[in-house]
Amino acid sequence: MATPSLAERVLSGDVRSAARLMRDLDDRLPEAETTLRAIFPSTGRAYVIGLTGAPGAGKSSLTDKLIAHYRAAGKTVGIVAIDPTSPFTGGAILGDRIRMQDHATDPGVFIRSLGTRGHLGGLSRSTADVVQVMDAMGKDIVIVETVGVGQDEVEVAELVHTAVVVTVPGLGDDVQAIKAGILEIADVFAVNKADRDGADRTARDLQTMLEVRHTVGPVSSAGGGTWHAPGDGLAHPVEDLAWDPPIVQTVAVTGQGIAELAAAIESHRAHLQKSGAIHRREVARARAGFLMLLRERLLSGALEQLEEETGRLDEVAGRIARREADPYALADDLAARLRSR
């Protein structure tokens, strides 16, 4: 019998093969892409949950408790922990490992940290690939933890089925959340650190903001600045006004509210299935993933061409900065030539 291919081994759930594929993806090996293609038809089974929020809000602690919850229910879990802010120390990633170490030896749990933005497709692209690999491994649930509220997080939220936005008591975070357009992508809110003062107040403030949204309609792209321009066809397409995002108070360190959080996620999942919105969501996820790929391909093609004909990106940027080169003409020219290739 022939030795099973890497794709076959990943599909059988083999942890080492999955880890190897993820390393090859990091190293941009062409074989890695071939393997991704081979596993693709078998993906689309995992339920993907995003956890997004300010640094230190308690995302990893919540994830840890959610893992325990899903494991107790007999489900296997994959975790993608993203921390683009610490490429040097890896401190937060180490922190994640420590916080989730109870699960480190559990074969039903697979944890992968992504630390740097890396190549052209950016962090969202790498995240999409890792989610695919965990899905192919047969993980029932995949949890993606992202820090902060920037464009990357909004993009990552487009790759998930249920987006949980984690806030903590205190108004600052909420204002930040609205600014980045996070309100629109949240399917569930967790007000974590509810053992601190002000959790009720934060929950009420969020509720008020959601009610305003319901009466005046979506406010995306209004003030965020991180959103795609409306009308360019790239705006986040999954906002679902038929769903009222529940607000759950949690204390991640004790596990208080975790069952309620898991129930809120489950009821969102049930809503997606009952309303048929799950199909739109799947199309939206596919669309987001495809756009990331396309952007990466086009950009790398254009930059190769630029380098061949004009010079390296940094040299060209220097000339643009000195007003020796016209960025509009250069971009038009490159785009036109890519089209005719």
Ligand X SMILES: Nc1nc2c(ncn2[C@@H]2O[C@H](COP(=O)(O)OP(=O)(O)OP(=O)(O)O)[C@@H](O)[C@H]2O)c(=O)[nH]1
Residues that bind ligand X (CB under 6 A): 53, 55-61, 92, 95, 99, 147, 192-193, 195, 251-253
Question: Least separation, in Å, of the C-beta of 82 and Mg ion?
Answer: 9
In the complex with ligand X, which residue's Cβ is closer, 55 or 223? 55
Judged by beta carbon distances under 5 to 8 A according to partner kind, the member of Mg ion, ligand X, none in contact with residue 217 is none
Question: Least separation, in Å, of the C-beta of 145 and Mg ion?
Answer: 6
Of 58, 10, 64, the closest CA to residue 34 belongs to: 10
| Interacting residues toward Mg ion by CB under 5 A | 59-60, 96
3-state secondary structure of 128: helix
Residues 290-326: b if buried by 16+ CB within 10 A, e if exposed: eebeebbeeeeebeeebeeeeeeeeebeeeeeeeebe
Question: Least separation, in Å, of the C-beta of 259 and ligand X?
Answer: 15
Judged by beta carbon distances under 5 to 8 A according to partner kind, the member of ligand X, Mg ion, none in contact with residue 58 is ligand X
In the complex with ligand X, which residue's Cβ is closer, 224 or 257? 257
In the complex with ligand X, which residue's Cβ is closer, 24 or 64? 64
In the complex with ligand X, which residue's Cβ is closer, 55 or 225? 55
Q: Other CB atoms closer than 10 Å to residue 105's CB: what's the count? A: 7
3-state secondary structure of 220: coil
- Do the beta carbons of residue 155 and residue 128 sit within 8 Å? no
Residue whose token pair is 């740097």 = 116
The residues that bridge with 146 in the sheet, in sequence order, are 52, 82
What residues contact 203, with CB distance under 8 A and at least 6 apart? 189, 191, 247, 249
- What tokens were used for 38? 């081979």
Question: Least separation, in Å, of the C-beta of 202 and ligand X?
Answer: 13
Question: Least separation, in Å, of the C-beta of 126 and ligand X?
Answer: 17
Judged by beta carbon distances under 5 to 8 A according to partner kind, the member of ligand X, Mg ion, none in contact with residue 150 is none
Judged by beta carbon distances under 5 to 8 A according to partner kind, the member of Mg ion, ligand X, none in contact with residue 253 is ligand X
Judged by beta carbon distances under 5 to 8 A according to partner kind, the member of Mg ion, ligand X, none in contact with residue 61 is ligand X
Question: Least separation, in Å, of the C-beta of 96 and Mg ion?
Answer: 5
